[in-house]
Chains A and B, each alone.
Chain A
């Protein structure tokens, strides 16, 4: 996973530069919100990728760690009166504290069995958060005051209240991706890869696979927990159905990894942006473009299909998932050369 040459660094650095200046030019709350969500998914996706893509232990239960992080932040405010910002680092800690014993118990399971165990953990955590009303307020959820809600005055003019959140999550996302790069360049990374390729062979070479799988899970859980703590701060409201959601968090994390490219450093980062944009594009009917188009042409047909597409947005999303897994099993980054060949091949034929 070593970054082999300088050319490979240019694209990520350019992307980072673009992300750094983005809120200075775009102060629209809605676009900032989408970017914040996408960056949050970069974190979760990278964490999932470390465990699944590099160590080969597919988790179906990332929401368990995400929700634990979010609830840590929320409960600190509700029960101890601390600032929710403590919830971000502590969320990472509690998620790791959940992940390590779970890993110690469940890493004796392999492959599909481990995936099922994580799925069960996800569901158990959701049930606990729902049933333990004296602690978590159950289905009512937790609501806190956001720190930043008014527009902020700055030398370059008024900035959106979301700008601080944007920079915080940008920093956290960069931190996550760097952690993954750092881990994969260290000795740990080679252990992880050897476990993914052949666990028995790794064991025979004297690698304590159980221990290293736990380390991988611990790091992944901590990063996911950090993202959860941020989510609580940013959204100001959580309930068991949103933060422990199997579909909206756990499966989404997998999709971010798969669409971007499993087992590649920047895969989940690319996947996160693609998935968030796709989800939003389906939900809003192409960011409202379809509606505008319908109004412009005055065509009843376009208007009807626009409302149908918006109405069935989850369906479109599901179909997309099926198509991606069917035709791009290694994701955008993994199948990049194949993808380019396909597009360029089309283009050349046309020329």
Chain B
């Protein structure tokens, strides 16, 4: 029973971070209608920013959120403005050119980081990296609990932003119907920049929060990109609420798979779930939650 509870707790804690990753991707998916295959790589860049601040100036990883998020926001806006949006105007046979462009961007980001930081494993070991506390027999990792707390705060902030502010409403309107939104006087192109920036900043935040407990090398982006789209498909593409459920489901599934099946299957479980969801619940949790 303890093992079961322990697995549940660790899966849930990890799921909080996954939700943050998934929400960034799903926002972009909702507004632009494309899958951002550079998502994990953008997160990796955010992690390197955190790492550099930690290694050079000894900045606490949690404090560096205030640097990594704005920096990656700017990176996201730049990618959208100069690389992705111009493709909309080109006449091509395949509509997937934007997706391919994100693949190229991901490659470039990975290689630039490899060029600067080499392929060595890096980590930001803080005094609290290995700290744990116990509730009964169940151990909680201190950084993961802090992460979950920050992730929840960010999610609430994001929802307030999307529901209450003018820009947030414009984002939701553009996601619903781009042309209608344009007719209502929304600058849809500007909204795409903001959305891509916002999505990137969210995933950068997730990367920064991972930094105290995780290691870092340039190729770390790919697996996280795959996790991100599994989360999005689980939740329903474009659904922010769904991404939270998707993230937690993936976290739990991975934790239970690793405990009860085998460690090697951890990565595969997400992918199998992905195919199963596509088959039996196309549209993901969005179908159930309707948001």
Contact = CB atoms under 8 A, between A and B. Distances in A.
A116 B233 contact: yes
Contact of A312 (B97, B103, B115, B226): B115
B95 interface: yes
Given A106-B278, A117-B278, A246-B222, A262 B108 contact: no
Contact of A53 (B86, B94, B271): B94
Given A312-B115, A330-B93, A322 B278 contact: no
Given A117-B278, A325-B104, A112 B35 contact: yes
Contacts of B110: 318
Contacts of B229: 116, 119
Contacts of A128: 268
A329 B89 CA distance: 11
A326 B101 contact: yes
Contact of B34 (A112, A131, A311, A334): A112
Contacts of B268: 123-124, 127-128, 131
B256 interface: no
A254 interface: yes
B-side interface mostly: helix
Contacts of A319: 108
Given A105-B279, A109-B278, A131-B265, A321 B115 contact: no
A97 interface: no
A265 B226 CA distance: 32
Interface string B51-90: 0000000000000000000000000000000010011001
A58 B96 contact: yes
A260 interface: no
A53 B96 CA distance: 11
A258 interface: yes
B107 A247 contact: yes
Interface in A202-250: 246-247
Given A112-B34, A326-B101, A120 B95 contact: no
Contacts of A315: 108, 111-112, 114-115
A53 B271 CA distance: 26
B105 A120 contact: no
B278 A329 contact: no
A251 interface: yes
B100 A317 contact: no
A334 B278 CA distance: 34
A120 B225 CA distance: 12
Interface string A287-326: 0000000000000000000000001101101110110011
Nearest to A321: B104
A263 interface: yes
Contact of A322 (B94, B101, B114): B101
B212 to A, nearest CB: 28
B64 to A, nearest CB: 26
Contacts of B282: 108-109, 113
A100 B108 CA distance: 35
Interface string B247-291: 000000000000000001101100110110011001000000000
Given A53-B93, A112-B35, A330-B92, A314 B265 contact: no
A263 B91 CA distance: 13
B220 to A, nearest CB: 14
A115 B108 contact: no
Contact of B111 (A111, A123, A312): A312
B99 interface: yes
Given A127-B267, A325-B87, A58 B111 contact: no
Contact of B100 (A108, A124, A325, A334): A325
B107 A112 contact: no
Contacts of B112: 315
A105 B278 CA distance: 10
A349 B230 CA distance: 52
A56 interface: yes
Contacts of A262: 92-94
6 contacts: A52-B96, A58-B96, A112-B34, A116-B278, A127-B271, A334-B93
Given A116-B35, A120-B274, 7 more contacts: A56-B94, A58-B96, A120-B275, A130-B264, A321-B103, A325-B87, A326-B87
Shortest 6 CB-CB contacts between residues of A and residues of B? A318-B107, A315-B111, A321-B104, A318-B108, A322-B104, A329-B92
